[in-house]
Amino acid sequence: MIKQTINILSIEAFGLSFGGDETRLLNQCRLINKDVFKCIICTPQLSPANMTPHFKNANAKIIYFKILPFKLKNFWAPIRLVILFINFLMYSIQLIRTIYKENIHVIDSRLLGGGIYGLLAKKITRLPVIVTLYHKSELNTIVKRFCIYLLRSSDAVMCDSKMRSDELRDWIGSEKPEYLVIPSAIELKFSDDKEMEEIKKEKEFSGKLIIGQIAGIIPFKGQDLLINAFHIIAQKHNNIELWIVGYSRNVDYYNSLIRQVKDLNIADKVRFISYPDYIGNIFRTIDIQVHASRFDSLPNSILEGMSVGKPLIASSVGGIPDVVSHGHTGLLFDKNDLEALTNCMEQVIGDPDLRMRLGQAAQERFEERYSPVFLTKQLEGAITKISNTH
């Protein structure tokens, strides 16, 4: 008997920009068993800087939905509502057509926006829906009630950390969806990047250490705190450089970081990098990873760094303490604690043996608990189970 391929439709409601959930979906498309599962993505083509080439390299089928292009700030409020409603109808109609045309078996709704579309489509198609969320949303009462009503009809709510999953369970207020905790399956890719290779050669010759945070540039990721800590450390160490790697998701915040670096007179030691190539090239080049988040679930970049044995300093927020053991697989500090972050950086910069021990222990933990094969099998099992119950 020939097994039928399970067709998965992933709904990315806001485009394939460079972000955490998009990276998680990309790894899903890369690693999932393509003899059993077919990955199809529907999304509007909104962001000029996006991950489309990476998804195409992963053999994912991308279906672009047509909507009216506009910027919310440029329109009077009543007109904005009309355009949003028109786009909602356009997206929903194209979604239903795609579900039937592609013979979809499971709807994979990404974030709350994708969840709303997927769960409304479920009312018509009766297909099972998995919603991937990383935290509860702060919404006004009417919108919150509507979203929770829809989420209670989902077949599963997936998250990457137990802490945030428990928070979502309380927020949704129902045991009906299955609450799944499956971290992102990470498999870093690399390419020939001559610039990165030259930087590696130069820093090996000079003894320079590169400290990097790889994350979207947005206030809750805490890049401003890291810059302040780096400024303090740079007064004692001449051989260090800071890389802020990521795409801006908040222009005002990004510009404030640029001003902060100039005001602190460390512009010659700090680089802002929006990197469209394989992020593995960045991890191969940096020496120390810092993640200064004020709020998070389980960032992909932490697992990415662990996978290649990079020593890590991270804030103890969200699901990070579940993965990082302080003093063993990394160093943890309380969020917003500049002194603690500075002390952790001082320890790691000044002790090569500590860097090596932390990196090796992190890589061993990754291979034991978070290997891409293990996590992908968990995901495949969850999708198959949900598909078979319908």
Domain boundaries, the chain: 6-186+372-388, 194-369
Report pLDDT for 374: 95
Q: Is 22 in contact with 78 (CB distance < 8 Å)?
A: no
Catalogue the E-assigned strands of the chain: 6-11, 37-44, 61-65, 106-110, 129-132, 156-159, 178-181, 209-214, 240-245, 270-273, 288-291, 312-315, 331-333
Q: Could you tell me the fold of the domain covering 194-369? A: Rossmann fold (3.40.50)
Q: Looking at domain 6-186+372-388, does it have CATH number 3.40.50.920?
A: no
Cα 158–chain centre separation: 14
Report pLDDT for 1: 40
Q: What are phi and psi of 55, to 5 degrees?
A: -65, -40
User: 6-186+372-388 and 194-369 share one CATH topology?
Assistant: yes
Report pLDDT for 197: 83
Picking from 344, 340, 299, the residue whose alpha carbon sits closest to that of residue 318 is 299
Report pLDDT for 75: 62
Picking from 377, 389, 378, the residue whose alpha carbon sits closest to that of residue 129 is 389
Positive or negative, the Cα torsion across 37, 175, 375, 117?
A: positive
Report pLDDT for 7: 97
Report pLDDT for 49: 58
The answer for residues whose C-beta is within 8 angstroms of residue 204's C-beta and 6 or more apart is none
Distance CA 240, CA 233 (A): 9
pLDDT in tens, the chain (390 residues): 446 899 999 999 988 888 889 999 999 999 999 999 999 999 997 666 578 889 999 999 999 999 987 665 666 678 878 888 999 999 999 999 999 999 999 999 999 999 999 999 999 999 999 999 999 998 888 999 999 999 999 999 999 999 999 999 999 999 989 999 999 999 998 888 888 888 878 877 778 899 999 999 999 999 999 999 999 999 999 999 999 999 998 999 999 999 999 999 999 999 999 888 889 999 999 999 999 999 999 999 999 999 999 999 999 999 999 999 999 999 999 999 999 999 999 999 999 999 999 999 999 999 999 999 999 999 999 999 999 886
